[in-house]
Structure 1
């Protein structure tokens, strides 16, 4: 369980990026975080793992208040939080396997991480995850030889290699084509269901958020203006979040690309 209580962030410039964010995410729930650019979505995600320090409020994961931890305690707590980045954040010169195993760096002594020595169990889990994301045959490729979709899959496997209690996902489909975007979202959702893992996904694509999320939180100017089921995201609500737009036309444009998120892909790696 993740709990945010009156979390705010004001930058030194005086800009208020987040104001009194309050919500809980239970185990297994996938939350789609939507809103216009500058609404505070990335700030909210980064406040949770304290890549950005909240100005006020508390953030609790399980029985641990993250906002009250010192630097050493925070390093340990971050092992429990998997992060999937928009720009993948892979080490390009390392292999796919080495990038996935980097998810275990918080659990091994410094000398072992420097020499990249991992246990047989860690390596076996990494192979299993690469198979799960459709990259088992690419384990020895350098990361810079992969396509965008393949890199994102490595990022997913790396986050899951941590055996996290929470998954934070920042714009996972921003640089991907529509088909690959849907495969990536399906993969994240399935992983959360299988592991009973809560997740918050910062995503610009409203239709993808509706298809693959259990719940939608809408931000506008740093404040939560909607928190509810995907099918409650009406045109009126979207106007509240984003402003005036022909949402009927937008839905029509996306309808042709829509498929059932519960329908498994024939080949998750296909075309990626």
Structure 2
């Protein structure tokens, strides 16, 4: 599905953000990228859709080699990659519905988008998506009147309106409280399962990654140092990725909107796992 081959990124300063990254992601797999700040997680996601141009290597989405596309071809290819941003990237003065419909801009011409003339089936799909993410009663509300979790749900619906093959998700919970963070991660996971979507999620919260991802990739200084199932991410590997730290169990007292089971587990860093 997505194939990243010998990918490297070196900036003009000479600093290397990524070094020889090789990742294969099959259809429907949810992958979490973890690692300390500056490890290259955001750069990797942005190299996939070429918001950042890689220095070396190749990226394939299916049979399409993204790294060789010209501007027009890349614009078309980006329709197949839904991007969900840390800062939401909404237009505050527009309504929730208008922000979701902006996800269709890659398919429509300038004047139709400028005049906000969208096909009726696209509008109907936007309604369905807003209902699915729990915002059906917020359709006409301005984006700047929403909470952080609501804004992230708008971003998710907008990305899905593109009908993508893969989601590229950059720190979706960075600005959210613990309860809302779990809700957003659960929603992304459920939507990927419903639509057989692959996803790469750059996330700082290790226990959320372990709870909601099929696979975890650990980056350190731009290199892959771990690639495996969440259960394999033990304290030794966490120390390799992040450095020395006390990974002993601790009590997490956050509440959730679902029934939870607390199971002490040093591998999961002592975090409480919501069983949903």
Q: CA deviation at 1:258?
A: 2.3
Contiguous gaps of at least 5 residues in structure 1? 264-272
Tell me how far apart the structure 2 counterparts of residues 171 and 231 of structure 1 sit (CA, whole Å).
22
Alignment of 1:78 onto 2:45: no
Structure 2 match to 1:8: 8
Whether the 8 Å CA contact 2:248–2:270 is kept in 1: the answer is no
Q: What does residue 269 of structure 1 align with?
A: none
Residue matched to 1:213: 213
Q: Any idea what SS the aligned residue of 2:90 has?
A: coil
Deviation digits for residues 26-78 of structure 1 (CA, Å, limit 9, x no counterpart): 01100000000000000000000000000000000011000000011001100
**What is the distance in 2 between the residues matched to 1:242 and 1:156?**
29
Give the conservation status (yes or no) of the 8 Å contact 2:103–2:162. Answer: yes
CA pair 133-92 structure 1, distance change in 2 beyond 3 A: same
Q: Higher relative contact order by CA 8 Å / sep ≥ 6: 1 or 2?
A: 1
Instruction: Give the Cα–Cα distance (whole angstroms) in 1 for the partners of residues 12 and 23 of structure 2.
Output: 26
Indicate the SS of the match to 2:106. Answer: helix
Please give the alpha-carbon distance, in whole angstroms, between the structure 1 residues aligned to 2:271 and 2:108. Answer: 48
User: Contact (CA 8 Å) 2:101, 2:161: kept in 1 or not?
Assistant: yes
- Kindly report which structure 2 residues correspond to 1:157-196, keeping only aligned pairs within 5 A, or say none: 157-196=157-196
**Partner deviation per Cα, 1:192-228 (whole Å, 9 max, x = no partner):** 0011100000000000000000000000000000000
In 2: Cα distance, 1:52 partner to 1:248 partner: 38
TM-score relative to the length of structure 1: 0.94
Would you identify which runs of 4 or more consecutive aligned residues in structure 1 move more than 3 Å? 252-257
Structure 2 distance, partners of 1:191, 1:223, is: 29
Q: Distance in 2 between matches of 1:120 and 1:255?
A: 49
Q: Matches of 1:130 and 1:11 in 2, distance apart?
A: 39
Partner Cα distance (2:92, 2:13) in 1? 35
What is the aligned-residue RMSD (CA, Å)? Answer: 1.0
Ranges in structure 2 where 5+ consecutive residues have no aligned partner: 253-268
User: Who is 1:112 aligned against?
Assistant: 112
- Give, in whole Å, the separation in 2 of the partners of 1:167 and 1:17: 22
Aligned length: 260
Shift in Å, 1:109: 1.2
Report how far residue 249 of structure 1 moved.
Answer: 3.7
